[in-house]
């Protein structure tokens, strides 16, 4: 077994770690960098104190350039920026994607309702990969790929492993990112189903503070 030396320092050793099972994933190579884990957050404090390979910065509001700029500037790992496609549509999505690339994002992520012609318009303008979110196995994956999707992002809650498995049967070579769940076992199940990389939802800063303040009180 190869030994990997590790340095943590005195003040930054308390970091959020992705489940160890993520290391079993094949990863997806983007511009020569292998990415196995994505932390799903827009909290720059968590991004700076997490061992994930990259950030998937999606949030439940209309995408705003100032938010993606702040995350990209603060992050010390690659950022894959959400650019809408649901509530935010059409030319604005394309403009947001172009802006994200210009600010240094390594990829852009569009929501499941995004129309194929919008995906095509984005792909015609960008060099970085376009990631399309998929919610179930009934979606027209071939249509997404034909439109220009480079990576599929499966987000199907507890059914994610099943959806990944069905997609992988039909498309053995496409890159798949998928939500891995909270445990090593759920992550392993998703990887075994065919996911190349895993998104990990970290604890909130409120949760982290709760345990920290409990220690302080003791």
**Contact between 51 and 199 (Cβ < 8 Å):** no
Q: Is 172 helix (H, G, I), strand (E, B) or coil?
A: coil
Q: What is the mean pLDDT of residues 117-146?
A: 97
Whether 1 shows a pLDDT value over 60: the answer reads no
Cα of first residue to Cα of last residue in the chain, in angstroms, is: 41
Whether 122 shows a pLDDT value over 90: the answer reads yes
Whether 10 shows a pLDDT value over 80: the answer reads no
Q: Which one is the CATH code of 20-217: 3.30.470.20, 3.20.20.60, 3.30.365.10, 3.40.50.300?
A: 3.20.20.60
Whether 120 shows a pLDDT value over 90: the answer reads yes
Per DSSP, 181 falls in state -
Model confidence, pTM: 0.92
Distances (CA, A) of 59 to 56, 63, 112, 145, 147: 10, 8, 14, 24, 24
Which of 208, 191, 177 has the alpha carbon at shortest distance from 54?
Answer: 177
Whether 13 shows a pLDDT value over 90: the answer reads no
Q: Is 22 helix (H, G, I), strand (E, B) or coil?
A: helix
- Determine the length of the chain: 218
Mind listing the pLDDT tens digit for each residue in 148-202? 999 999 999 999 999 999 999 999 999 999 999 888 999 999 999 999 999 999 9
């Amino acid at each position: 077994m190869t030994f990997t030396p590790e340095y943590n320092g005195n003040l930054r050793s308390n970091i959020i770690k992705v489940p160890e099972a993520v290391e079993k994933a094949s990863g997806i190579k983007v511009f020569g960098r292998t990415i196995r884990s994505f932390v799903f957050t827009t909290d720059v404090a968590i991004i700076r104190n997490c061992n994930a390979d990259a950030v998937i910065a999606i949030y439940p509001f209309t995408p705003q350039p100032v938010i993606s700029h702040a995350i990209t500037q603060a992050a010390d790992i690659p950022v894959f920026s959400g650019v809408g496609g649901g509530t935010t549509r059409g030319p604005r999505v394309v403009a947001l994607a172009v802006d994200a690339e210009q600010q240094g994002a390594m990829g852009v992520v569009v929501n499941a309702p995004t129309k194929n012609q919008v995906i095509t318009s984005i792909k015609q303008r960008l060099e970085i990969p376009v990631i399309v979110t998929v919610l179930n196995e009934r979606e027209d994956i071939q249509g997404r790929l034909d439109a220009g999707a480079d990576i599929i992002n499966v987000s199907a809650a507890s059914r994610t492993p099943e959806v990944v498995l069905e997609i992988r049967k039909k498309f053995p070579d496409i890159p798949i990112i998928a939500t891995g769940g909270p445990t090593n076992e759920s992550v392993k199940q998703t990887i075994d189903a065919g996911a190349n990389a895993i998104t990990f939802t970290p604890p909130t800063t409120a949760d982290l503070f709760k345990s920290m303040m409990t220690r302080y009180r003791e």
